[in-house]
Amino acid sequence: MVTPVDHEKTDPTAQQEASIILYGLEQTLAAAGIASAKTDARCLLGMALGRDDAVLPHEDIAPMDQVCADRLAAMVARRLEGEPISRIRGWREFWSLRFAVSPATLDPRPDSETLIEAAVRWALRNAGKDRPLRLLDLGTGSGCLLLALLSELPKAQGIGIDINPDAVATARRNAASLGLGDRAAFAEHSFTDDLGSLGGFDVILSNPPYIPTGEIDGLAVDVRSFDPALALDGGADGMACWAQLLPRLAAVLAVDGMAFVEIGRGQENAVTAAAEKVNLQLRDSHCDLAGITRCLTFSIKM
């Protein structure tokens, strides 16, 4: 157990120790080609000291004992193997909320916040904050999409489904830790199966596996080696999931509802064409921070 730091006192030795440790960590990580070496070094030192926040060079820290040093060395070794900081510490911030991650879940990324931004705007335009909307998250993983949207819509209720029972368990834990357990339910279910028993939904969210099989080996190591293949692999052309997902989505989307789906780079036309075949109409598209079309919104074609 690391002794809490008393920031009221100034310890030049501790300050010097922090800057020296951080410099060494940064050099080690940078030499391994890790672009975020400075940030990662600060996070790893913080975790070794039992803290959630990053350590800055000018901060006072408790002197490193052997337990902390061993903990730090083990975490650095994991980072050098490509494991992302989020998986080393066990959580990722998404939509300013903390989500636990597990080997069964994708590591939530800022690109996926594009869906939440689009869904919140739609809800505001349609008085969604004042209505008890029903939400559905297909392939929920950590539950980040469903729970982030529930945090913005206080009268909404939601269901998240995932084929992996470990992912379902992780999503339930996240709902409980965020105080949303009374408005979110999770079930082990495949979105390739009939969803009619779930009823109609005002908002449907989904970030399905859409990466072409042949491109997975070329992904960054933190994705290809640590995100679950089941949540990445979209088949030979990346479209396998859409052929199964879109008909199920169309069957349970309310007539006046909206679906928000995440797509891969360059998939807009192909996904839209597949959606039209099952009576879904493209309503809008939204770009992520890199300017790539990341989210498509669909409604039932009237």
Contact 92, 108 (CB under 8 A): yes
Answer whether residue 138 shows pLDDT above 90: yes
What's the pLDDT at 302? Answer: 80
Q: Where along the chain do its domains lie?
A: 12-81, 92-300
Crossing angle, helix 144-152 and helix 113-125, to 10 degrees? 30
Contact 53, 5 (CB under 8 A): no
What's the pLDDT at 15? Answer: 55
Burial of residue 292, with CB atoms counted within 10 A of its CB: 0-12 exposed, 13-18 middle, 19 or more buried: middle
Distance CA 90, CA 223 (A): 15
192 pLDDT tier (thresholds 50, 70, 90): confident
Average pLDDT over residues 47-70: 84
What's the pLDDT at 57? Answer: 82
Contact 246, 280 (CB under 8 A): yes
Average pLDDT over residues 138-164: 96
> Chain centroid to CA 224: how far?
15
Answer whether residue 300 shows pLDDT above 70: yes
7 pLDDT tier (thresholds 50, 70, 90): very low
Contact residues for 248 (Cβ-Cβ < 8 A; gap 6+): 138, 191, 192, 193, 194, 195
What's the pLDDT at 65? Answer: 84
Span of 127-131, 137-141, 210-214 with lowest mean pLDDT: 127-131
Contact residues for 30 (Cβ-Cβ < 8 A; gap 6+): 37
Contact 235, 241 (CB under 8 A): yes
Distance CA 169, CA 185 (A): 11
Average pLDDT over residues 207-230: 91
pLDDT tens per residue across span 232-290: 888 999 899 998 899 999 999 999 999 999 999 999 999 999 999 999 999 999 999 99
Distance CA 275, CA 133 (A): 23
What's the pLDDT at 16? Answer: 56
pLDDT tens per residue across span 60-119: 777 678 898 999 999 999 999 999 999 999 999 999 999 999 999 999 999 999 999 999
Residue ranges with strand state E in 167-275? 184-188, 201-206, 253-262
Crossing angle, helix 66-80 and helix 37-48, to 10 degrees? 140
Burial of residue 63, with CB atoms counted within 10 A of its CB: 0-12 exposed, 13-18 middle, 19 or more buried: exposed
- What 3-state DSSP class applies to 90? coil
Contact residues for 211 (Cβ-Cβ < 8 A; gap 6+): 219, 232, 233, 234, 238, 264
Contact 122, 128 (CB under 8 A): yes
Q: Which long-range contacts (CB under 8 A, 24 or more apart) does 228-236 make?
A: 228/103, 228/104, 228/105, 228/106, 228/164, 230/163, 230/164, 231/105, 231/106, 231/139, 231/141, 232/106, 233/209, 234/208, 234/209, 234/210, 234/264, 236/212
- CATH homologous superfamily for the domain 92-300: Vaccinia Virus protein VP39 (3.40.50.150)
What's the pLDDT at 2? Answer: 37
What's the pLDDT at 105? Answer: 95
Average pLDDT over residues 156-168: 96
What's the pLDDT at 63? Answer: 67
